[in-house]
Amino acid sequence: MVESRAAQPEKRWNILWISAEDISPDLGCYGDAYAKSPTLDKLAADGARWTRAFSVAPVCAPSRSSIITGMYPNSIGSLHMRNKCVPPPEVKCFTEYLRAAGYWCTNNVKTDYQFDPPVTAWDESSNKAHWRSRPDPKKPFFAVFNITTTHESQIRLEDDAFAKRTEALSDAEHHDPAKAVLPKYYPDSPVIRRDWARYHDLITAMDKQVAAILAQLEADGLADSTVVFFWGDHGRGLPRSKRWPYDSGLRVPLMVRWPGVIKPGTVVEDIVTLMDLGPTVLKIAGLEPPAHMQAQAFLGEKGLDTPGLKKREYAFAHRDRMDETYDMIRSARDGQFRYVRNFQHKKPYAQYIDYMEQMPTMREWRSLNKEGKLSGPAAIFFQPEKPKDELYDILADPDEVNNLADDPQYKDLVKRMRKAVKGWMDEIGDLGFLPEPSLNERFRPGGVQPTTNQVTASKVVSKGWNLLVLSCPTPGASIAWRYADDPKNRWRLYSGPFEPKAGKAIEAKACRIGYRDSEVTSVGN
């Protein structure tokens, strides 16, 4: 049912993830003087901070799909924003391997995986899910808290609603729009400055929520036995950041506090992706990541010094359909340069996306363009076509506004990175060229969602144990079971034959990502 376990570490660490929506490394610990993020600055100071961490997609659902599966979205079919994929049978939520190894796994609360999470993924997934819910306080946990405060929708709240959202901030903690330092690709206007300041206000509010979670960990006496991760799911939720495969849409904050293992104040410049989080957690828990995963661990049982950790040469990324608007872009980032390949270069950057157009910055930017008031980098976004190739020197041009792709000096570099992108696409079997209706037909022939076969049960006697054996013929299926009279209706992950409690009836069902769950099988005892 699951990959075999590696040798268990002497100490089984608890693992805590705290994630934030739509946030670039716009924090004090990353050198942003405008930011007010004392909790996260201290977390970074107490552990390690990665300077080259990237999502593999610049929008939430494909990015989160990669995190939970350890697979590129354009490889398993979760590449378009808000599509329902059916991955290959070997693909599972990585948390199943943790549950099988004895971890209590909770998610609070966002999933957004491009598929309905199977009941085998989490012991609990709700807005009340917490490590405190585990039935045995000695059981190691993997707990996830997804903070939505910084989501792009919160920037454009009405004034009263925004004031409510940031009511925990003192006057001194609010950000002055006049002091904002805008990216070069934006025109300078009061509307855009206001959105930029609001975005930073929300980061400060989120920082306080992180502090509250860490305080609970401290109060429970668990701070010294828990590995704490903080990360953002993709770049900032503003136009030309979110949805765009540049650093502004892909580069994220990532920090890990691991008492006694990671030296405080460590700065890591290696390239990592959010997709790598899953196998990293498995390695920390003493488990070998399954061979099918395209992700790779960047930490292990000995932290950064774990033998066998691989380093990435590139961080690859994709952009495909965003809501109602189609495009196809692939990107590669090394330590200094970003290469972008626009496969639909005849389309402009500034295609209309209704959800994005609700942002005051986007409306202001579009209005200024219509009035002919844009020039320089701020006008690039409204060019009628995109170039086929883009190349940016991030060290010299962090806002990525000076395209070097046609500069003869960089001809060989463009050729090398273009080849790297093609090689990556070929290696993973990129589905971007397949029309979405054809992809959907592959997943759901005739528009019908496949259903997992029903669980069969048998009883065997082994060494005096009366064991229950559950099986399902559907390739890639996982099995969940529970006691029929469980007042919490809690589904457990089946990982092998077990002896039920005497006199207790069992219910079991099978599930596979993208499939309908099977009907429930009842087993008397």
The pLDDT confidence band at residue 462, using thresholds 50, 70 and 90, is: confident
User: Could you tell me if 319 and 329 are in contact, meaning their C-beta atoms sit under 8 angstroms apart?
Assistant: yes
Of 390, 414, 446, the residue that ends a domain is 446
Q: Are residues 119 and 54 in the same domain?
A: yes
| Domain-embedded: residue 451 | no
Q: Inform me whether the pLDDT recorded for 4 exceeds 50.
A: no
The pLDDT confidence band at residue 9, using thresholds 50, 70 and 90, is: low
Q: Are residues 33 and 149 in the same domain?
A: yes
| Domain-embedded: residue 137 | yes
Q: Inform me whether the pLDDT recorded for 473 exceeds 50.
A: yes
Bridge partner residues of 17 (DSSP): 144, 229
Instruction: Look at the pTM and tell me if it is higher than 0.75.
Output: yes
Q: What secondary structure does DSSP assign to 158-173, as a single string?
A: -HHHHHHHTTTS-GGG
Q: What is the pLDDT of residue 525?
A: 67
What separation in angstroms does the CA of 190 have from each of 78, 179, 197, 365? 38, 11, 10, 11
As a whole number, mean pLDDT of residues 69-75 equals 99
Closest CA to 152 of 87, 68, 244: 244
What's the structural domain count of the chain?
3
Q: Are residues 336 and 366 in the same domain?
A: yes
Q: What secondary structure does DSSP assign to 71-99, as a single string?
A: S-HHHHT--STT------TT---THHHHH
Of 257, 286, 308, the residue that ends a domain is 308
As a whole number, mean pLDDT of residues 516-525 equals 94
Residues 222, 236: Cα–Cα separation, whole Å:
32
Domain containing residue 118 = 14-153+206-308
Q: Are residues 210 and 65 in the same domain?
A: yes
Q: Are residues 218 and 356 in the same domain?
A: no
The pLDDT confidence band at residue 5, using thresholds 50, 70 and 90, is: very low
Q: What secondary structure does DSSP assign to 173-233, as a single string?
A: GS--GGG----TTS---HHHHHHHHHHHHHHHHHHHHHHHHHHHHHHTT-GGGEEEEEEES
Q: Are residues 410 and 462 in the same domain?
A: no
Q: Are residues 107 and 23 in the same domain?
A: yes
Q: Inform me whether the pLDDT recorded for 470 exceeds 70.
A: yes
Q: What is the pLDDT of residue 3?
A: 38
Residues 317, 302: Cα–Cα separation, whole Å:
29
| Domain-embedded: residue 178 | no
| Domain-embedded: residue 197 | no
Q: Are residues 360 and 302 in the same domain?
A: no
| Domain-embedded: residue 173 | no
- CB-side neighbour CA atoms (13 Å) of 443: 24
Q: What is the pLDDT of residue 522?
A: 97
Q: Are residues 303 and 322 in the same domain?
A: no
Give residue-wise pLDDT tens across range 362-400.
999 999 999 999 999 999 999 999 999 999 999 999 999
Of 290, 308, 326, the residue that ends a domain is 308
Q: Give the CATH number for residue 93.
A: 3.40.720.10
Q: Out of 225-239, 307-321, 455-469, which region has the weakest mean confidence (pLDDT)?
A: 455-469
Q: Which of 60, 85, 93, 105 is catalytic?
A: 60
The pLDDT confidence band at residue 6, using thresholds 50, 70 and 90, is: very low
Q: Are residues 390 and 499 in the same domain?
A: no
| Domain-embedded: residue 171 | no
Q: Are residues 291 and 440 in the same domain?
A: no
Helix (H) / strand (E) containing 333: strand 329-333
Rounded to 10 degrees, the C-alpha dihedral 52/53/59/65 comes to 150
Give residue-wise pLDDT tens across range 79-98.
999 999 999 999 999 999 99
Q: Give the CATH number for residue 473.
A: 2.60.40.10
For 339, the 3-state DSSP assignment is strand
User: Could you tell me if 466 and 512 are in contact, meaning their C-beta atoms sit under 8 angstroms apart?
Assistant: no
Catalytic status, residue 93: no
Phi first, then psi: give them for residue 470, nearest 5 degrees.
-115, 145
| Domain-embedded: residue 187 | no
User: Which one-letter amino acid corresponds to residue 342?
Assistant: N
Give residue-wise pLDDT tens across range 412-457.
999 999 999 999 999 999 999 999 999 999 999 999 999 999 999 9
Give residue-wise pLDDT tens across range 240-299.
999 999 999 999 999 999 999 999 999 999 999 999 999 999 999 999 999 999 999 999
Q: Inform me whether the pLDDT recorded for 313 exceeds 80.
A: yes
Q: Give the CATH number for residue 430.
A: 3.30.1120
Q: Inform me whether the pLDDT recorded for 194 exceeds 50.
A: yes
The pLDDT confidence band at residue 1, using thresholds 50, 70 and 90, is: very low
Q: Inform me whether the pLDDT recorded for 7 exceeds 70.
A: no
The encoded tokens of residue 95 equal: 């948390």
Q: Inform me whether the pLDDT recorded for 471 exceeds 70.
A: yes
| Domain-embedded: residue 406 | yes
Q: Are residues 301 and 355 in the same domain?
A: no
The pLDDT confidence band at residue 309, using thresholds 50, 70 and 90, is: very high
Q: Inform me whether the pLDDT recorded for 2 exceeds 50.
A: no
